[in-house]
C-alpha cells in the first residue's frame, strides 16, 4: 500500500513538471544551420537555461510554417510563438518600419547595428508593439545583392527588363522599378522553384541567404550591389508574451538578444567566407560596382514611398548616427 502511494505521488510530480514545461516554437525561413538557424537555437538554449528548463523550444525552419508574412499573421492570431523574420513584409503591418528598408541608407554593418541597438531601434520595437506583435530584439539578415541567370549586372542598364523577385515590400519594389528591373513580389518559399522554372530571372538577398539556400543551383551571376541593408527582428506573439510574469518576459528578452548576437556573428563569418563559397560553386561574382548610379535611381523612385507619409525626420536621424 505504502509503495502504491509513493508511486502515485512520484507519477503526479512528473506530470506536474511536464505540464509546467512549455515548448516554444521558433519559426524562420532558412535552414537550421543558416544565420537564422544559429540565432533560433541561441534563443532556445538561452531561454531553456535561464528558465531552468521551464521553457524548452524547437525550431520550425525553412518556412515549414509558411512565408514571413504568414508567420507574422500567425503571431497576431496566436498560432505562432516566436518568429525570426526580415523586415521585408513587416512594413505591411507596421508602416513606420519602411524607413529601415530604404535603399542605400545604411553605410555599413556598424552603422546599421548602432542604429538598431540605439534609441531609434527601441522606438521602432515599441511601434511594433502597438500592432498586435511583440518586438523583442533587432537581429540581422545582411546587405542584399542581386543574383540572376541571364547576365553580369554592373550598371543599372544591365538590370533593364530583368524579372527580379523582390520581397513583398513596396519600398523595395519602387527602388527596383527606378533602377530599371521588373520587380515581382513573391514569398520566399516559392522563390527557388520560380527561378528554376524561369518564372523570374533573378532575385536579391544577402550572401548569408544565397549560400544557405544554395542559389548557385539556379543562378549564375551575383553582383555585390549592397543596395539595401536587410534588418531582421525577433518577434513574439502577444497571446504568449502578455501572459508571462515579469521575470519570464526578461528571459524572453535576454534570449532574443542572445539570438541576435549569435546571428550577427554568423553574418560576420559569412561576409568573410561566403563569396569564396559562391565562386567554388560556380557563380560569377561581380565585385567592382559603381554604386552611385544605382543609388541615384533607387533613392529617386523609392524614398517618397516612406517620406510622403512620415516626412524626412527619421531618414535624417538614421543618417546622422555615427
Ligand atoms: O528574401 C527574403 O524573403 C528574406 O531575405 C528571407 C530569405 C526570407 C530571410 O529573411
Q: Which of 205, 232, 266 to mutate to test the pocket of ligand 1 (most atoms within 8 A of CB)?
A: 205
What SS3 class is residue 279? helix
Q: DSSP letters of 14-49?
A: HHHHHHH-EEEEEE-SS-TTSHHHHHHHHHHHHHHH
CA–centroid distance, 247 to ligand 1, in Å, is 32
Residue 234, all three cell numbers: 525577433
pTM assigned to the model: 0.94
Atom of ligand 1 nearest to the CA of 67: 8
pLDDT of residue 71: 98
* Residue 60 β-bridge partners: 27
88-99 mean pLDDT: 98
Q: What is the mean pLDDT of residues 75-93?
A: 98
Task: Return the residue whose CA atom lies nearest to atom 10 of ligand 1.
Answer: 86
Ligand 1 atom closest to the Cα of residue 206 is 5
* DSSP strands (E only) in the chain: 22-27, 55-60, 82-86, 134-148, 163-166, 182-185, 202-205, 221-236, 284-286
Residue 16 has pLDDT above 80, yes or no: no
pLDDT band, residue 21 (cuts 50/70/90): confident
Query: What residues form DSSP beta bridges with 55?
Result: 22
Q: Indicate the top mutation candidate among 27, 86, 184 to test ligand 1's pocket, ranked by most ligand atoms within 8 A of CB.
A: 86
Mutating to test ligand 1, I would choose from 38, 144, 230, 259 the residue with most ligand atoms within 8 A of its C-beta, which is 230
**CA 15 to ligand 1 center in whole angstroms:** 40
Average pLDDT over residues 115-143: 98
pLDDT band at 183 (very low <50, low <70, confident <90, very high): very high
Closest Cα partner for 140 from 224, 237, 28, 223? 28
Domains by residue range for the chain, with CATH: 15-320 (3.40.190.170)
Percent of the chain with pLDDT over 70: 94
Nearest to 147 by CA among 80, 47, 217: 217
Q: Which atom number of ligand 1 is nearest to the Cα of residue 86?
A: 10
Atom of ligand 1 nearest to the CA of 209: 7
How do residues 230-247 score in pLDDT, each as one tens digit? 999 999 999 999 999 999
Amino acid at each position: 500500500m505504502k509503495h502504491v502511494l509513493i508511486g502515485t505521488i512520484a507519477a503526479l510530480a512528473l506530470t506536474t513538471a511536464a505540464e509546467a514545461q512549455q515548448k516554444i516554437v521558433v519559426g524562420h525561413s532558412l535552414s537550421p544551420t543558416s544565420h537564422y538557424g544559429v540565432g533560433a537555437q541561441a534563443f532556445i538554449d538561452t531561454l531553456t537555461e535561464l528558465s531552468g528548463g521551464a521553457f524548452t523550444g524547437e525550431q520550425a525552419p525553412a518556412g515549414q510554417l509558411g512565408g514571413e508574412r504568414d508567420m507574422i499573421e500567425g503571431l497576431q492570431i496566436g498560432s505562432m510563438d516566436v518568429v525570426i523574420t526580415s523586415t521585408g513584409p513587416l512594413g505591411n503591418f507596421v508602416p513606420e518600419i519602411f524607413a529601415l528598408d530604404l535603399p542605400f541608407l545604411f553605410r555599413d554593418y556598424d552603422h546599421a547595428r548602432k542604429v538598431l541597438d540605439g534609441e531609434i531601434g527601441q522606438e521602432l520595437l515599441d511601434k511594433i508593439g502597438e500592432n498586435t506583435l511583440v518586438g523583442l530584439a533587432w537581429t540581422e539578415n545582411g546587405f542584399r545583392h542581386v543574383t540572376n541567370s541571364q547576365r553580369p549586372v554592373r550598371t543599372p542598364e544591365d538590370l533593364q527588363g530583368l524579372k527580379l523577385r523582390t520581397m513583398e515590400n513596396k519600398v523595395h519594389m519602387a527602388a527596383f522599378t527606378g533602377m530599371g528591373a521588373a520587380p515581382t513580389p513573391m514569398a520566399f518559399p516559392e522563390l527557388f522553384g520560380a527561378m528554376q522554372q524561369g518564372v523570374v530571372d533573378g532575385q536579391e538577398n544577402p550572401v548569408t541567404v544565397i549560400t544557405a539556400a544554395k542559389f548557385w543551383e539556379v543562378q549564375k551571376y551575383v553582383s555585390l550591389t549592397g543596395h539595401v541593408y536587410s534588418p531582421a527582428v525577433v518577434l513574439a506573439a502577444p497571446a504568449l508574451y502578455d501572459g508571462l510574469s515579469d521575470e519570464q518576459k526578461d528571459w524572453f528578452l535576454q534570449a532574443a538578444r542572445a539570438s541576435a548576437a549569435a546571428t550577427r556573428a554568423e553574418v560576420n563569418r559569412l561576409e568573410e567566407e561566403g563569396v569564396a563559397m559562391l565562386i567554388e560553386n560556380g557563380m560569377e561574382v561581380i565585385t567592382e560596382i559603381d554604386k552611385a548610379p544605382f543609388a541615384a535611381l533607387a533613392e529617386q523612385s523609392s524614398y517618397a514611398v516612406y517620406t510622403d507619409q512620415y516626412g524626412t525626420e527619421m531618414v535624417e536621424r538614421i543618417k546622422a548616427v555615427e
